Structure 1
Amino acid sequence: MVLKRIEELRNQNLLDAILVSDGFNIRYISGFSGETGYLYISNERHVLLTDTRYTIQAKMEAKEFEVIEVSIEKNYGMWIGEFILEDNVKRLGFEDLHMKYFEYFKFNQMWKLKEWVALENSLNSFRMVKTEEEIKKLAQAEAIGDKAFQEILNILKPGMTELEVAAELEYHMKRNGASGLSFDTIAASGINSSMPHATPTNRKLETGDFLTMDYGCVFEGYCSDMTRTVVIGKASQKQKEIYQIVLKAQLAALDAICAGKTGSEIDKVARDIIEKEGYGEYFGHGLGHSVGLFIHEEPRLSPVGNIILEENVIETVEPGIYLPGFGGVRIEDMVVVKKDGCINLTHSTKELIEI
């Protein structure tokens, strides 16, 4: 099915061949999960090129591709140049948003091409709508995150450091079947929680702190993403007020999501609530993003999100309020977009928890 779409893309753009360099697209198209390689796809051949570290793995995973092992004697440029010559390639489609300039410069010197054709996000767009198999893997990844949240609630206490919180979350995700992390875990306490993407530090949790935990894992190649904010000790009235505004915004956005709407329409639902409560300037990021093989995919829920959502697109819904010198709240779920709503893959409670 994917190769058929590649063929359609080549025909639409009058391409003689396509060179795929983005690792996530390589995996999506071929099944190969190694870290290094290229796909060369033409009418004449479907080739996966990689080095000796991955050739056995490549032959196991990329069943529809001929696997070529590159070497110092015959590198990527030499192999692909040979294919280009044999296939009489004049127009080569390439991933201009991914390929590094030095790669392009080197290859352009080696190959005799009439035209390099920029594919922009064409290949990435293939990954927007998820299959049932992909959704099952995403759901399992998110379920692992839910389990980690339940575990951390039994561990959190004043005196723990943010780094210890992050380490515990990561340990429990891997213990429950994760192969890795979707991104660097965020564990931000006190005034640090006013930074949406704070890096965990040796700061110790104190009574009265907000603690925002944003984390995710990888299960069979697919990512999860969730955020929960708790209070260490008893929450103040202001903390309760901010938390409830964020929760109200998130629930309203979840109710509004369905296929046929744009990302900006959903973002506006949450943003309007936060702005009406007087905290609009403290919600600076977009409402959410898609998730798949990569943690930040399209389409996005943001003021400039103009892509119309389709069924079986995955989205995070993560409004927040971040007050400098005080702290911040973010609540995030991951959902599957459906015709008449969405299916929430995140099941951890969103009631304000006081530790």
Structure 2
Amino acid sequence: MEQRQESQERDAQSRITRLRQRWDDGIDALLILSPVNRRYLSGFTGTAGFLLVDREGQWLATDFRYWEQASKQTPDWTLIRQKGAWTEALQEAVADRGWRNIAVESDVVTLEQQQKLETALPAIRWVPRKGMVESLRAVKDEGEQAAIARAAALADRGFQHILGCMRPGMAERDVALELEFFLRREGAQGVSFEFIVASGERSALPHGVASDKTIGTGELITLDFGCILDGYCSDMTRTVIFGQPSAEQRKVYETVLEAQERALAAIAPGKSGRDIDRIARDVIDQAGYGDRFGHGLGHGVGLVVHENPRLSILSEDILEPGHAVTVEPGIYIPGWGGVRIEDLVIVTSGGNRNLTTSPKELLVL
């Protein structure tokens, strides 16, 4: 555990170095209010505080509740004790530094926060900057990749567990509850999102969170879930069935599986998110289900379960080694049901490494 803490501290400091390498001349410092970006850059896991970074220094402000925690988690940061409003701590941090232009996360700061900034420090020009930290977060370092892999491995174990528990007549909500209990008992700090357990006609809902509906024989059942370990998320989906599937159910399933496998085989550095999405979408189009695949093929996974890069028809992202992305094509037919299969992969220098090991043939329970 101590070695892991030291590794996390080194990783955090490396991220600050990479952030400074992307600095532009239009700003003197960067204010971080996003809790996710705060954790990513500093390693601080408390729920209150902000970061300030310039070309040479780095400051973390937090209050009494987290002071000792911050002292242990962020030894390379200068701490500022927040005694009143956060803007008062900010005034103290900025005083006498000669800064004139401070960047703010334009996609994070609310109108109310912007007004407070302008009131507290009227001489400062607050410069909007989007994605300065998020662009760093998209490429996972070795420690992050290891954490995501551990979370994916636990999700795989959760899938094997729930297969042994599910029975016809069981409510979707009870399936989700048993799965979450198992993951937490095995060490998960939380779940990546509200679990999707959708059976029968409800499996046509891409985000059909678990309901009171009971699962019947002959119904497709979509299980989409993930857990959090060491702050990092996993995400996987499998579709199973009680009883023998119909010919159409098998056709839909095999179409989704072929689409996913072709997309997985193509993932490599230099490929665009749009092109990978098109590979899977073409398979589904050719099978006659093109209008039944209405979402993007995948998304980045990290400290949050949906982040950059994106695999979709609108994506302009280019894959790089260290990207962690899902590959999750689906077909959804209203009034009939649906199928989705999802793996989580790390882009490598030579292609990709699939972190999801659960079987993908149609499991007949």
Alignment TM class, shorter chain as reference: over 0.9
Percent identity among equivalent residues? Answer: 42
Give 1:43 shift.
Answer: 4.6
Q: Note if 1:39 corresponds to 2:51.
A: yes
User: Which whole-Å CA distance do the structure 2 matches of 1:239 and 1:55 have between them?
Assistant: 57
Among candidates 11, 18, 23, match of residue 5 of structure 1: 18
User: Which whole-Å CA distance do the structure 1 matches of 2:261 and 2:276 have between them?
Assistant: 11
Report the AA paired with residue 7 of structure 1: R
User: Which whole-Å CA distance do the structure 1 matches of 2:131 and 2:227 have between them?
Assistant: 25
Give 1:44 shift.
Answer: 6.2
C-alpha distance 244-44 of structure 1, shift in aligned 2 (>3 A): closer
Q: Note if 1:294 corresponds to 2:304.
A: yes
User: Which whole-Å CA distance do the structure 2 matches of 1:259 and 1:44 have between them?
Assistant: 33
- Which residue in 2 is equivalent to 1:129? 139
Give 1:114 shift.
Answer: 4.2
SS across alignment from 1:53: helix
Report the AA paired with residue 182 of structure 2: H
SS across alignment from 1:41: strand
Report the AA paired with residue 25 of structure 1: N
C-alpha distance 330-53 of structure 1, shift in aligned 2 (>3 A): same
Matches within 5 A, 1:1-355: 1-10=14-23, 12-43=24-55, 45-71=57-83, 74-355=84-365
SS across alignment from 1:32: coil
Contact kept in structure 2, 1:148 and 1:173, CA below 8 Å: yes
SS across alignment from 1:54: helix
Structure 2: gaps of 5 or more residues: 1-13
Give 1:153 shift.
Answer: 0.6
Contact kept in structure 1, 2:106 and 2:128, CA below 8 Å: yes
Deviation string 1:131-178 (CA, Å, 9 cap, x unpaired) is 111111110000000000000010111111111011111111112221
User: Which whole-Å CA distance do the structure 2 matches of 1:75 and 1:149 have between them?
Assistant: 46
Deviation string 1:92-129 (CA, Å, 9 cap, x unpaired) is 01111011211111121111234211110111001111
Deviates more, 1:200-209 or 1:62-71: 62-71
Structure 1: gaps of 5 or more residues: none
SS across alignment from 1:19: strand
- Which residue in 1 is equivalent to 2:9? none
Report the AA paired with residue 225 of structure 1: D
Q: CA RMSD in A?
A: 1.3
SS across alignment from 1:126: helix
SS across alignment from 2:352: strand
User: Which whole-Å CA distance do the structure 1 matches of 2:267 and 2:252 have between them?
Assistant: 23
Contact kept in structure 2, 1:162 and 1:200, CA below 8 Å: yes
User: Which whole-Å CA distance do the structure 2 matches of 1:118 and 1:49 have between them?
Assistant: 21
Deviates more, 1:245-254 or 1:51-60: 51-60
Contact kept in structure 1, 2:19 and 2:136, CA below 8 Å: no
Contact kept in structure 2, 1:44 and 1:87, CA below 8 Å: no
Aligned length: 352
Give 1:197 shift.
Answer: 0.6
Contact kept in structure 2, 1:89 and 1:113, CA below 8 Å: no
Contact kept in structure 2, 1:310 and 1:337, CA below 8 Å: yes
User: Which whole-Å CA distance do the structure 2 matches of 1:169 and 1:121 have between them?
Assistant: 35
Runs of 4 or more consecutive aligned structure 1 residues displaced over 4 Å after TM superposition:
none
SS across alignment from 2:180: helix
Give 1:235 shift.
Answer: 1.0
Give 1:69 shift.
Answer: 2.8
Contact kept in structure 2, 1:21 and 1:99, CA below 8 Å: yes
User: Which whole-Å CA distance do the structure 2 matches of 1:278 and 1:75 have between them?
Assistant: 59
Give 1:52 shift.
Answer: 2.4
User: Which whole-Å CA distance do the structure 1 matches of 2:245 and 2:123 have between them?
Assistant: 65
Deviation string 1:236-288 (CA, Å, 9 cap, x unpaired) is 11111100000000000001110011000100000000011111111000000
Give 1:81 shift.
Answer: 1.6
Contact kept in structure 1, 2:324 and 2:344, CA below 8 Å: yes
Contact kept in structure 1, 2:324 and 2:347, CA below 8 Å: yes
Deviates more, 1:204-213 or 1:80-89: 80-89
